[in-house]
Structure 1
Amino acid sequence: MKNPSMCAFSIRPVILCVEDEPSLLRDLCDELRAAGYEPIGVPDVAKAQNLLTQLTPSMIVCDINLPGKSGLEFMSELRTGDLLRDVPFMLLTALADREHVLRGKWAGADDYLVKPVDYDILLASVASRLAQVGRMQSNYLTQLQQQSNEQLLQWTNVLDKISHCALVCDAALGVRFANRAAYSLCRDAEHGLLSVGGAGQIVLHGDIVQHADVRQFLIGDREAAKVDITSHGATPKNWQVSLLALGERRASQARRDESFVVFLSDLSQRHLHNRAGLARRFSLTPTEMQVASLLIDGLTKQEMSEQMNVSAATMAYHLRNLFSKTDTKRQAELVAMLMSVAWNDIAMPASARH
């Protein structure tokens, strides 16, 4: 049997086989290997669970009657988890009566084969199920790309209205969009936070991308983060880098699909908000105005709660009111909306504000 750790990196689909009869387990693995798969055979659920901490198989073929935990219990546990709940599961048993078939189906089995194994049916079932999974994954990735493109178009319209630097970045902080203020900042050689790459695209400085707090945020599930960075130009400046997730974050999701808005703010000008303009535009109460100002300053929900000395529930209540009054749904969208009013109204000549 091949080393399981090697199988985890195989380009052939990995099939985990759980069967306590040694001869049948050997035959299953031989047939699957001959058909172009990478089988891993184990005699019980405990060994299977240990393997699943090291790799994610393309499919699981499992006997129902096993020593210790049964195949049905094993499958039920996987179906209630997050990481392996979508792995196709084929139950294998000598019990052909209708009751056991229904129990397997209700427990979440994708396929059900009866011993003695007809290997032609086994291979056809495996190929059909993996092809179906492949189509579903392809459709899912296509939908993700379409959503990402629509999201990017939406944000280009919002962020270009902001008078200071804002970017949309991918999961590795590669810049997908930069607003006009970002390009203006690039022309200022003093700041040292942005540069233009060989293909003409804007690139975030390594001090931002490699910052320990930024790296920790990227691999976590927080919605927002901020770090203070000093630029290395002839006249060093202190900057605040605010990062906000564009979508819902979950610890188990694939990080490559995430997008973030990144705001760069000169700390010497951070408090120059047009509070009256914000309050007037969105009919904000004094407390809501305080929350809005702290959001623009890049504070997280926890930091705002601590600074205002209120509970997380109270802060959530104020944020819900702000979402409603600004007609936004995500924190990144709310912050961009608030900035577009607070900063642009300041930058605009008084004679042009009305």
Structure 2
Amino acid sequence: MEDEADLRSDICEELIAAGYAVDEAGTGQEALDLLRDERYDLVLCDITMPRMSGLDLLRQVRQEPDLADLPFVFLTALAGRQDIIAGKAAGVDDYLTKPIDFDLMLITIAARLDQVARIRGTRSPDDGESQNLRAALMGADEALNRIAVGVFLIDSERKVLFRNRRAGELLDEADGISLGREGLLRGEKPQQTHALRDIMDTAIARGADGARQGSEAVALTRESGRRPLIAVACPLGRGPAAAGEPAIGLFVTDPEWRSSDAAEAMAQLYGLSPAETRLALALVRGLRLDEIADDFGLSRNTVSYTLKNLFRKTETDRQADLISLFLSNPVARDTA
């Protein structure tokens, strides 16, 4: 940015000849409009300008989050100590004095851009991976709604940003876990709420420190007397999450939950017939073979024959293994 047209033209020619892409502005407002529309690597700016001075422009730029780290180099005939102090206080990165030494200008710009590249290069290579992971999870609602585990995506202030369908069901049941008005998860009792908060805080801190491995767990007792919910918190990325991004995942399992849809998914996976699927569900409910025969109006031999087919198709040989196979299936339902 330079209000003297001839000097501005000369500067642009030198920069273009050196291989830089350049946009020019004759006033502070023109420069500000350009900065808000495009992303630049560096600003070369005259201090003494009509209406909006270079210092005024710099102060405005430093107040805008998207522009706060943009390198700023002043062109000035004002090279006194107080002028330099004022510029540094406003956040300028470097000075070039008039009349301009174009060789020095090119070296200064190249050095400043190299410094920026080095600073950016010190960021963890996992930053992009973490951002991609967080974005993918936020956009994976359809897939997350199909699993039988309650999934909450939590920000760095422990507020819920997303919950899948199963998590919503757990909140509706209000038996062991609930959602407060402020968007924070709560346990049945204060000590359960504190325990839940502790595992989330630990996971958030671990992620902020760059460690994505490991998880924290707590059992959430239930007023109904049913077995406790199991809540597991783990970081979603290495490094602090940005505002509005999930920092951790909280996965809540109900050990007593059963889903016929999970059995349907298993039936499709292993090619089970309706009769074989019904038998598997009955076994999961804890019924004995004689009870199943009575309930279904079948002979014991028919039930035993169906069970043998189940063993063969699922590659199991004991009822306990068959039941475990069905209970471990994470698929909850079709979202259609």
Give 3-state SS (helix, strand or coil) of 1:340's partner.
strand
Shift of 1:208: 2.8
CA distance in 2, matches of 1:126, 1:59: 8
Structure-2 change in CA distance of 1:95 and 1:72 (3 Å):
same
Shift of 1:139: 1.4
Alpha-carbon shift at residue 317 of structure 1 (Å): 11
- Structure 2: gaps spanning 5 or more residues: 205-214, 221-228, 232-251, 259-283, 285-336
**2:30 match:** 47
Q: How far apart in 2 are the matches of 1:262 and 1:35?
A: 53
Pairing 1:244–2:145 present? no
Name the structure 2 match of 1:346: 256
Task: Please give the secondary structure, in 2, of the residue aligned with 1:328.
Answer: helix
With over 3 angstroms needed to count, the CA separation of the structure-2 counterparts of 1:72 and 1:274, relative to structure 1, is closer
In 2 relative to 1, CA 336–63 (structure 1 residues): closer, same or farther, beyond 3 Å? Answer: farther
Deviations 1:42-69 (A, max 9, x none): 1111111111221011100111110111
Q: How does 1:248-263 map to 2 (within 5 A)?
A: 263=164
Q: State the match for 2:69 in structure 1.
A: 86
In 2: Cα distance, 1:128 partner to 1:44 partner: 26
Instruction: State the Cα deviation string for residues 58-109 of structure 1 (Å, max 9, x = none).
Output: 1001111101111101101111221100000001111121111111112111
The answer to whether the 8 A contact 1:94-1:116 is kept is: yes
Structure 1 contact 246–261 (Cα < 8 Å) conserved: no
Please state how far the C-alpha of 1:115 moved relative to its aligned partner: 0.4
Count of matched residue positions in the alignment of Structure 1 and Structure 2: 216
CA distance in 1, matches of 2:122, 2:20: 24
Deviation at 1:274, TM superposition (A): 9.4
Q: Which moved more, 1:333-342 or 1:47-56?
A: 333-342
**Partner of 2:67: helix, strand, or coil?**
coil
Per the alignment, do residues 117 and 321 of structure 1 end up closer, same or farther by CA in structure 2, a change over 3 Å counting? farther
Matched AA of 1:139: T
TM-score (ref. length: structure 2)? 0.52
CA–CA distance in structure 1, aligned partners of residues 186 and 7 of structure 2: 63
Contact 1:244/1:332 (<8 A) preserved: no
Aligned counterpart for 1:208 among listed residues 118, 142, 150: 142
1:265 is aligned, of 166, 180, 185, to 166
| Percent identity (aligned) | 31
Aligned partners of 1:271 and 1:20: how far apart in 2?
62
Distance 2:4 2:101 in 1: 16
Kept after mapping to 2: 8 A contact 1:261/1:332? no
Residue number in structure 2 paired with 1:10: none
Letter of the 2:166 counterpart:
S
Q: Distance in 2 between matches of 1:266 and 1:114?
A: 63
1:174 deviates by 8.7
Q: 2:135 aligns with which of 147, 166, 171?
A: 171
Q: Secondary structure at the match of 1:105?
A: helix
| Deviations, residues 14-64 of structure 1 (Å, cap 9, x unaligned) | xxxx10000110011111111111111111111111112210111001111
Between the aligned partners of 1:99 and 1:247, the Cα distance in structure 2 is 43
Instruction: Please point out which of 293, 303, 315 is paired with 2:178.
Output: 293
- Name the larger-Rg structure: 2
- Decide whether aligned partners of structure 1 residues 30 and 322 sit closer, same or farther in structure 2, where only a CA change above 3 A counts: farther
Alpha carbons of structure 1 residues 331 and 38: separation in structure 2 relative to 1, 3 Å: same
CA gap of 1:143–1:122, structure 2 versus 1, over 3 A, is: farther
Taking only aligned residues, the RMSD between alpha carbons, in angstroms, comes to 4.5
Query: In the TM superposition, what are the counterparts of 1:48-87 in structure 2 within 5 Å?
Result: 48-87=31-70
Pick the aligned partner of 1:325 from 176, 191, 195: 195
Distance 1:266 1:125, change over 3 A: closer
1:27 aligns with 2:13: no
CA–CA separation in structure 2 for the residues paired with 1:53 and 1:208: 36
Please point out which of 95, 118, 126 is paired with 1:135.
118
Match of 2:105 among 119, 122, 127: 122
Letter in 2 for 1:70: S
Query: What SS is found at the alignment partner of 1:77?
Result: helix
Deviations 1:290-339 (CA, angstroms, capped at 9, x unpaired): xx334xxxxxxxxx42xxxxxx4xx7697998664331345997998555
Q: TM-score, normalised by structure 1?
A: 0.49
